[in-house]
Each structure stands twice: as structure tokens, then as C-alpha cells.
């Protein structure tokens, strides 16, 4: 079971059916985090986890103050390491010292405007090395269980090189390296004047085809409005329109304009959301008041437009203020809104399962045994960790299944199972063979009737998983049929573990 931040209700909250003393688990995703090197800034996975530990200390400090002002509805009481990733971090000495900072469960990381990001004379695209580095961290054990990598490209490369140079680098980052989104920075890459130009449109169009989210650095409302306009134009243009409905745009830092009504006009668009990094202090009441009253849309709830982010290492622990604010009396939403903002929305944007050009077609195979009230699960997780530690396989990703969009549930208290929308009992990992072009999804899940199943799926074809949305109609009849047909029922968990090699044949 992946456990996370635990909060306790400080009083009865009748309109949410919550009773004083009940505890809840929240799953936190940091949507905006840099790794690599830029002048005095440096960050690595270990640095990120250290930072989250600091963030937790800062939260505890702020909680003390808020408690004495009687300002909190929920008190954060502890963070608990998730069993599967935590066991993996503990399995090797050099990993073990990074097994901390579990306030944050997952982190979306992208390059800085790195010292080595500039396009060289050798004809290579900008950010090539940066994208390689991000993939090196995010698609290998143990960090692949915590980090989700986004690539960066510079559309203006096309001015001095081939017209499709940035598009090709985007393809490489997503399809070959396994990155899962795109960060664009019109200011740092000096294409603010080229925003409406074809060179930008081509990159956005490709992102739409690849079905990946795009996070735009936005420092002011002017840029945000231009981004919205270019997307609207592309939706009308024949060359682009057919794929544009699938393109999700994240406006970083809420355009640094939480008091501007125009921000919320943009966020009414179901494909637009904004991350909260840089917002603090008086920004917070403004942001949540305006978002909850102005984002009126039949296509989404207001809280689906906001994503928690830290912008580490450009910013430090001020993000703690936002987390605490969502637990306060002043926050205009429910605990479900808090869970969406702190993590659910980000996971929903990444719902495409990890796969690369090594994608492999194969028929699904599944093993099943009794879960013995959850004890079998830990045994299988341990077996998978030794598999990952072997020389043969790389753990490229570890995702959880999610509720379909717009159905995010109200979190349940721990005494009723503690479900918060993230199916931590249904984990989809990607394994890549180290010495050949081969990848597969391993899907470990609890089923009704205390049954545990472990399935091996191809990453390509109609019996592969194309979404992490956990609903029968999204998973595909073909896959369900094949899984049922190819399930081997084992006597107990030790015989299931013995049979794991049969999944790979």
C-alpha cells in the first residue's frame, strides 16, 4: 500500500460527512520541479527528496502557528513512506540514503535552461543533453518510482537549422527516451515574439499528436492570453484541428496573476490548467476565492484547473503555505478539491501509460492467487524488486491506476479504507529489457474477493493498456477477455512467485 501524507479532521465537518478525529491519506504530486544545472542552481533526485523533507519541516512549523490561531480544519500529522518504492530504495545501500522526503509521492521534473542546453555548432538540437539527463534519472530504478520526466525543446532552433529540428527532438524525448510531457519557456528561449509563428505551432501540434501535456512558463497575463489565442487559432486551422482537442496546456505559476479575472476566463477551457508555484501569502486567498467563484464550466469542476507545484530550486519552502491553506477554514473547497489540486489533477494529465519505441506486442498473461488480506501483495512486491535488481530488467516507470476524469471521489477516512482516488492497490510498472528491444507492462492489483493478480501485458496493440483510467469501458474488451482467458490460478503466493518467469516467455 502506498501511504502518504496523513491529515486528521479537527472538528466535525457535516457538509462533507466528516467526523472529528477521522484521518485521511493524501497523495501529493509536485508538478513543477527542475533538475540539472543552471548557473548557481543544481539539483538531482537526492536534492529533491532532501527538499521535500525541508518542506515537511516548514509545514509543521506553519501548522503550529495555524493551530494557535484556530485556523485549521485538518491537521497534517505525519508522512509515511509507501511500501513498494520504499522497499526498493532500501534494497541497495546507495539508494537507501535517499529513502525520505515522502511528503511528496511523485514529482514532474524538467531541465533548467541548462548551461549545456544551448544549441551547439554540431547541429544538434537545444536541450538534447538535458533531455538525456532527465530521462536518465526518471526512467531507471529507483527514481522511476517517484519521478516523471518532461522534456524541453527550443522552437527557434528551426531558424538556424532544419525546419523540423525541434519537432524531431520532441519525438526523440517522448518516443525514444520515455519522457511524458513538454516544458516550453518562451522567455528563456527568446521565442516570445515567435509564439504565433509556425515554428511554435509545429511543436504544439506534435505534442497534441503524441497526447502529452505542455507546460508553458508564463510570467504575466499577456503571455497567457497569447498562448490561449494560439491554441484557439490552431483548433480552427485545418492542418491542426483534428488532434487539438487532446492537447492539455498548463500555465506555469498561474501566469503570476492570481488577481486577474482573465486568468480564470482562460481556465474555464477544459484543456487549460495552471500550476501554483510562486504563489504564496496574499496570493492564496485571492487564487482560491477567484478560482472557486469564476471557473464556472459544465466540462469541469473549478478545482480541476489547479495543480500544486514548487518550482524548486528557483523557489524553496514557500509551497508549504499553499498546502496548509487547503487545510484551513478559508479554503473554499472540500477535501476532494484539495486532493485534486495537490495530486489528482497532475496524475490525470499523465494518464497515458509509459511506453517507448521499444513497444512490444504480445498476448497478456496473468497469475492469480489469494491475497490473504494483503500479505501476498508484499511478497510479490519483494519478488518484483529482486527482478528489478537483476541485470536483465530496468524499471522504467511505476504508475497507479486512476478514476476516470471528472469522477474524482471524496476521500474516505482511514477507518473506511482510506481510498483517496489514487488506486495504490493497482500498480502499473513498465519493465524494459536491458539488452534487447523489449518492454512490457506488469500490472499488480488487488481484485474483489481477496484475489491478487499479476499480469504481463504488451505495450502495443489492442490488448495493451492505453490509459491508466480504471474503468472497464476504458480498459478495452479485448484486453479483459484475453486476461480472463490467460489467467493461471496458483495454489498460494509462493507458487505465484515461482511462476513469475512464465509471464515473460
Cβ-based nearer residue to Zn ion, 24 or 216 = 216
Cβ-based nearer residue to Zn ion, 311 or 399 = 311
Part in contact with Zn ion (CB under 5 A); list of ranges 231-239, 257-265, 304-312, 424-432: 304-312
Part in contact with Zn ion (CB under 5 A); list of ranges 141-149, 161-169, 311-319, 416-424: 311-319
Helix or strand or coil: residue 59? helix
CB of 441 to Zn ion, least distance (A): 31
Among positions 422-461, residues that touch Zn ion (CB under 5 A) are none
Cβ-based nearer residue to Zn ion, 34 or 352 = 34
CB of 303 to Zn ion, least distance (A): 22
Residue with cell 529540428: 165
Nearest to 155 by CA among 130, 185, 114, 110: 185
CB of 306 to Zn ion, least distance (A): 17
CB of 106 to Zn ion, least distance (A): 17
B/e letters for 410-439, b = 16+ CB within 10 Å, e = fewer, are bbbbeeeebbbbbbbbbbbbbbbeeeeebb
- Measured CA distances, 215 to 27, 343, 346, 410, 487 (Å): 21, 16, 11, 27, 41
Cβ-based nearer residue to Zn ion, 254 or 496 = 254
CB of 335 to Zn ion, least distance (A): 28
Q: Does 275 bind Zn ion (CB under 5 A)?
A: no
Task: Report d(CA 284, CA 224) in Å as an integer.
Answer: 19
Cβ-based nearer residue to Zn ion, 58 or 311 = 311
Part in contact with Zn ion (CB under 5 A); list of ranges 307-315, 340-348, 381-389, 403-411: 307-315
CB of 250 to Zn ion, least distance (A): 11
Cβ-based nearer residue to Zn ion, 47 or 404 = 47
Q: Which of 311, 399, 463, 482 binds Zn ion (CB under 5 A)?
A: 311
Helix or strand or coil: residue 37? strand
CB of 252 to Zn ion, least distance (A): 6
CB of 300 to Zn ion, least distance (A): 25
Cβ-based nearer residue to Zn ion, 33 or 352 = 33
Task: Report d(CA 166, CA 454) in Å as an integer.
Answer: 39
CB of 311 to Zn ion, least distance (A): 4
CB of 203 to Zn ion, least distance (A): 18
Contact 251, 218 (CB under 8 A): yes
Beta strands in 80-212, from DSSP E residues, in sequence order: 106-111, 147-149, 151-152, 182-184
- Measured CA distances, 268 to 156, 207, 291, 305 (Å): 30, 21, 10, 8
Part in contact with Zn ion (CB under 5 A); list of ranges 218-226, 306-314, 395-403, 444-452: 306-314
CB of 32 to Zn ion, least distance (A): 6
Part in contact with Zn ion (CB under 5 A); list of ranges 14-22, 279-287, 309-317, 374-382: 309-317
32: cell is 513543477
Part in contact with Zn ion (CB under 5 A); list of ranges 94-102, 310-318, 392-400, 405-413: 310-318
Cβ-based nearer residue to Zn ion, 105 or 311 = 311
Contact 347, 400 (CB under 8 A): yes
Part in contact with Zn ion (CB under 5 A); list of ranges 135-143, 303-311, 357-365, 421-429: 303-311
Cβ-based nearer residue to Zn ion, 188 or 451 = 188
Task: Report d(CA 323, CA 74) in Å as an integer.
Answer: 11
Contact 56, 103 (CB under 8 A): yes
SS (H, E, C) 159-182: HHCCCCHHHHHHHHHHHHCCCCCE
Helix or strand run (H / E) with residue 131: helix 128-138
Task: Kindly give, in sequence order, each residue whose CB lies less than 8 Å from that of residue 56, ignoring residues fewer than 6 positions away.
Answer: 79, 101, 103
Cβ-based nearer residue to Zn ion, 311 or 490 = 311
Part in contact with Zn ion (CB under 5 A); list of ranges 52-60, 67-75, 305-313, 387-395: 305-313
Determine the size of the site formed for Zn ion (CB under 5 A). 1
CB of 309 to Zn ion, least distance (A): 8
User: What residue is closest to Zn ion based on CB?
Assistant: 311
Cβ-based nearer residue to Zn ion, 311 or 446 = 311
Q: What is the DSSP string of 339-402?
A: HIIIIIHHHHHT-SPP--TT------EEEEEE-GGGHHHHHHHHHHHHHHHSSSEEEEEEEEEB
CB of 112 to Zn ion, least distance (A): 8
Cβ-based nearer residue to Zn ion, 125 or 309 = 309
- Dihedral of CA atoms 243, 361, 399, 174 in degrees, nearest 10, equals -50
B/e letters for 34-51, b = 16+ CB within 10 Å, e = fewer, are bbbbbeebebbbebbbeb
Cβ-based nearer residue to Zn ion, 152 or 377 = 152
- 181-183-189 Cα angle (round to 5): 150
**Under the rule (CB under 5 A), what is the footprint of Zn ion?**
311
Amino acid at each position: 500500500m502506498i501511504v502518504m501524507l496523513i491529515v486528521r479532521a479537527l472538528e466535525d465537518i457535516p457538509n462533507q460527512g466528516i467526523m472529528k478525529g477521522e484521518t485521511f491519506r493524501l497523495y501529493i504530486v509536485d508538478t513543477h520541479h527542475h533538475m540539472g544545472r543552471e548557473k548557481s542552481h543544481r539539483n538531482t533526485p537526492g536534492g529533491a527528496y532532501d527538499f521535500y523533507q525541508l518542506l515537511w519541516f516548514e509545514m509543521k512549523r506553519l501548522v503550529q502557528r495555524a493551530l494557535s490561531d484556530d485556523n485549521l480544519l485538518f491537521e497534517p500529522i505525519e508522512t509515511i513512506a509507501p511500501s513498494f518504492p520504499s522497499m526498493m530504495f532500501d534494497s541497495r545501500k546507495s539508494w537507501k540514503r535517499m529513502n525520505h522526503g515522502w511528503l511528496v509521492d511523485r514529482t514532474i521534473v524538467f531541465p533548467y535552461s541548462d548551461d549545456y542546453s544551448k544549441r551547439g555548432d554540431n547541429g544538434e538540437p537545444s536541450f538534447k543533453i538535458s533531455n538525456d539527463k532527465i530521462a536518465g534519472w526518471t526512467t531507471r530504478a529507483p527514481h522511476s518510482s517517484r519521478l516523471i520526466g518532461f522534456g524541453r525543446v527550443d522552437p527557434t532552433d528551426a531558424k538556424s537549422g532544419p525546419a523540423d529540428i525541434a519537432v524531431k527532438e520532441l519525438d526523440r524525448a517522448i518516443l525514444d527516451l520515455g519522457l511524458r510531457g513538454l516544458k516550453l519557456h518562451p522567455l528563456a528561449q527568446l521565442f516570445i515574439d515567435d509564439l504565433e509563428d509556425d515554428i511554435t505551432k509545429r511543436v504544439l501540434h506534435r505534442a497534441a499528436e503524441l497526447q502529452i501535456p505542455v507546460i508553458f512558463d508564463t510570467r504575466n497575463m499577456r503571455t497567457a492570453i497569447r498562448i490561449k489565442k494560439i491554441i484557439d487559432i490552431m483548433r480552427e486551422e485545418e492542418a491542426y484541428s483534428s488532434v487539438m482537442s487532446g492537447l492539455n496546456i498548463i500555465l506555469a505559476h498561474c501566469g503570476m496573476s492570481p488577481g486577474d479575472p482573465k486568468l480564470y476566463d482562460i481556465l474555464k477551457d477544459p484543456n487549460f490548467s495552471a500550476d501554483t508555484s510562486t504563489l504564496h501569502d496574499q496570493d492564496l486567498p485571492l487564487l482560491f476565492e477567484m478560482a472557486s467563484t469564476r471557473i464556472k464550466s459544465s466540462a469541469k469542476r473549478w478545482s480541476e484547473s489547479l495543480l500544486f507545484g514548487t518550482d524548486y530550486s528557483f523557489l524553496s519552502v514557500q509551497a508549504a503555505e499553499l498546502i496548509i491553506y487547503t487545510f484551513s477554514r478559508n479554503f473554499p473547497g472540500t477535501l476532494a478539491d484539495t486532493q485534486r489540486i495537490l495530486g489528482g489533477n497532475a496524475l490525470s494529465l499523465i494518464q497515458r501509460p509509459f511506453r517507448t519505441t521499444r513497444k512490444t506486442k504480445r498476448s497478456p498473461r496473468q497469475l492469480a492467487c489469494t491475497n490473504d488480506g494483503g500479505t501476498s501483495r508484499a511478497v510479490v512486491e519483494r519478488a518484483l524488486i529482486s527482478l528489478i535488481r537483476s541485470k536483465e530488467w530496468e524499471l522504467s516507470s511505476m504508475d497507479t491506476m486512476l478514476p476516470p476524469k471528472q469522477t474524482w471521489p471524496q476521500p474516505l477516512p482511514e477507518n473506511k479504507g482510506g481510498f483517496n482516488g489514487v488506486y495504490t492497490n493497482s500498480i502499473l510498472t513498465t519493465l524494459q529489457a536491458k539488452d534487447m528491444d523489449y518492454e512490457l507492462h506488469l500490472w499488480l492489483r488487488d481484485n474483489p474477493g481477496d484475489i491478487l493478480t499479476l499480469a504481463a501485458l504488451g505495450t502495443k496493440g489492442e490488448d495493451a493498456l492505453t490509459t491508466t483510467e480504471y474503468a472497464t469501458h476504458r480498459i478495452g474488451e479485448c484486453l479483459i477477455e484475453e486476461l480472463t482467458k490467460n489467467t493461471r490460478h496458483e495454489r498460494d503466493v509462493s507458487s505465484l512467485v515461482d511462476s513469475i518467469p512464465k509471464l515473460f516467455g
